[in-house]
Structures are given as C-alpha cells and as structure tokens.
C-alpha cells in the first residue's frame, strides 16, 4: 500500500517570484488546466490523494480548492508562502502555518491535520517545527525525505510511519517519503521528478522495497498537458528571460512521464490518502508490511 499526495502549488507564482518578476503573486495561467488533468487522472485510476495546499496558491485559485474537495480528496497543508522552514524563526513559521490554515479552512471548509514542508525543508536544525505543528493541531507530518538532493535533511528514524517523540502536545506522526535503500545506495522513488530519470520497472522495484506505507508526491505542473512557459511582464530584463527559459526547459524535461508512471504504479499497488493511513495506524494497526 502506498500513500499518494499532491503538493498543490502554482508553478508560475513560484518561478516568477524566484526571478523577481513584479507580477509574481498573480494567478498563474496554467494551474486550472493542470488541476483538471490531475483530477481526471485520479478519477481514471479511481484513487483518492492528499492535497497539501499552499496558502498563496489557494488564495489565487479558490475555485480549484473547491474542485479538489468536491472530488473527495483529503485536504492537507503545504504552508502559506513556500519559504524554506529552516530559513524561518519558530515564530515566523508559526505565523506562516496559521495563515495557511486559515486560508485553507475558509476556502475548503476543512481543517487540515497533515503537513508537508516546502521542498522538504524541516532540516536537522529546524526540528522545533514539529512542536509548532502539534501546537496548531496537526496530527501528522510528511516532510522527511531521505534524498541525497536535500541538504541537511532530517533522516527518518524509520522508513515506515512512526510517532515523533519530539512533539509534546499530542502525538505527531511522521510519514516518510518513499526511498529504496538499495545495496548500491539510496534511491528516492517517491517523487514524480525522480521518475523522469528512471525506467518505470526500476521505480516499481524500488517501491516494493521502500518499507510500509511509503509516500508518493506529485505537483500539478507535472501533469500539465501543455509545455510550461513563464509569462514574465513586459519590460523584463534579458537575465530574467533567459532564466525563465531554463527553468521551463528543466521542468518540461522532468515531467514528461509522470502520468504514465503513476498509471503503472496504480496498476500494481493500492494507493490511499495519508489521512486514511494515519487513522489506521493511530488506532493501533501494525505499520510493518
């Protein structure tokens, strides 16, 4: 059994902010078609996922949050502004989390109880974030990802879901992202951005060996039926335009196979949302395979 999630964010907002484009907070032009494609694919596969919603994307696209709820998916939280947790103080993180919760509750009518940090950014030095999550009513975190690409990452104590001892205010569970501990090294097999570089059979083999309840994550832009283009405002400088082209080319290369690999995974594994697994495990089910 695998846990399926979507980090629900607007690629255009994020890339425009990175390029310091003036129009960055505006709603991106592609999230609707990306979300439509993603929701259709999940319906086709007859699976429900957890959508970790980014507050600023939700405010730009309230109708898409509603569409996700109506299709019966779980609503989780991806923070508000997509700034790395380890660059914030505990107070700043608490304020960002509260802003996200309030936006998500207002737009979805649901209280999120699961959290995924932007870019898996709860590092070894920012473990205080788990206390903040528990204080604000979260019951699980899905941010630990033992990928060599993440600097100073928090290494999960176990590859299967487990309660974090750190949280004092209620029990906060950790649901690590799928990583295959192969003899030749660690292979991150949970993210669609990694699937692009691997034969599908290798992804499937890795997932079979990734422990119990390993987590998968996708982004809406990885399901975009059209090539991604950054729409910069008129008057952007040459550097911004070159960077925009490079970012779009990288993303277009990384996302080509996401839908087909997910179909192959759904063919062989049962996919469930995180909240369903949390309900079973916190009621005492055995987390081992």
- Residue 163, SS3? strand
Closest to Zn ion by CB, 7 or 174 = 7
Name which of 147, 191, 144 is nearest 166 in CA terms. Answer: 144
How many angstroms separate the CA atoms of 127 and 209, rounded? Answer: 27
CB 116 to Zn ion: min, Å: 7
CB 227 to Zn ion: min, Å: 21
Q: Stretches 1-9, 22-30, 127-135, 185-193: which one binds Zn ion (CB under 5 A)?
A: 1-9
Q: Is 76 in the site for Zn ion (CB under 5 A)?
A: no
The answer to whether 155 and 144 are in contact (CB under 8 A) is yes
- Pick from 4, 7, 161, 220 the residue near Zn ion by CB under 5 A: 7
State the CB neighbour count (10 A cutoff) for residue 289.
Answer: 12
Structure tokens at 252: 């277009």
Q: Stretches 118-126, 155-163, 230-238, 278-286: which one binds Zn ion (CB under 5 A)?
A: 118-126
Which distant-in-sequence residues (6+ apart) come within 8 Å of 172 by Cβ? 130, 133, 134, 138, 139, 140, 141, 163, 164, 166
Q: Is 10 in the site for Zn ion (CB under 5 A)?
A: no
Closest to Zn ion by CB, 12 or 281 = 12
- Residue 243, SS3? helix
Q: Is 118 in the site for Zn ion (CB under 5 A)?
A: yes
Q: Stretches 8-16, 145-153, 206-214, 225-233: which one binds Zn ion (CB under 5 A)?
A: 8-16
Closest to Zn ion by CB, 146 or 222 = 222
Question: Contact residues for Zn ion (CB under 5 A)?
Answer: 7, 9, 118
């Amino acid at each position: 059994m695998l846990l399926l999630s979507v980090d629900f964010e607007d690629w255009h907002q994020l890339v425009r902010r990175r390029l310091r484009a003036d129009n960055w907070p505006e709603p991106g032009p592609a999230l609707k078609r990306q979300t439509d494609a993603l929701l259709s694919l999940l319906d086709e596969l007859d699976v429900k996922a957890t959508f970790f919603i980014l507050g600023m994307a939700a405010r730009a696209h309230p109708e898409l949050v509603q569409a996700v709820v109506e299709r019966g998916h779980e609503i989780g939280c991806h923070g508000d502004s997509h700034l790395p947790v380890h660059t914030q103080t505990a107070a700043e993180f608490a304020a960002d989390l509260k802003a996200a919760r309030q936006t998500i509750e207002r737009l979805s009518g649901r209280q999120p109880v699961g959290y995924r940090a932007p870019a898996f950014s709860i590092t070894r030095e920012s473990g205080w974030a788990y206390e903040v999550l528990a204080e604000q009513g979260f019951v699980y975190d899905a941010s630990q990802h033992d990928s060599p690409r993440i600097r100073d990452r928090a290494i999960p104590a176990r590859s299967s879901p487990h309660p974090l001892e750190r949280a004092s205010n209620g029990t906060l569970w950790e649901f690590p992202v799928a990583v295959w501990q192969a003899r030749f090294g660690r292979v991150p097999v949970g993210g669609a951005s990694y699937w692009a570089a691997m034969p599908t059979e290798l992804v499937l083999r890795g997932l079979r060996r990734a422990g119990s309840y390993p987590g998968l994550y996708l982004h809406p832009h990885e399901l975009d039926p059209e090539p991604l283009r950054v729409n910069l405002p008129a008057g952007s400088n040459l550097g911004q335009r070159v960077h925009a082209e490079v970012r779009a080319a990288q993303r277009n290369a990384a996302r080509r196979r996401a839908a087909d690999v997910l179909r192959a995974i759904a063919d062989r594994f049962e996919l469930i949302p995180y909240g369903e697994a949390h309900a079973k495990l916190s009621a005492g089910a055995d987390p081992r395979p």
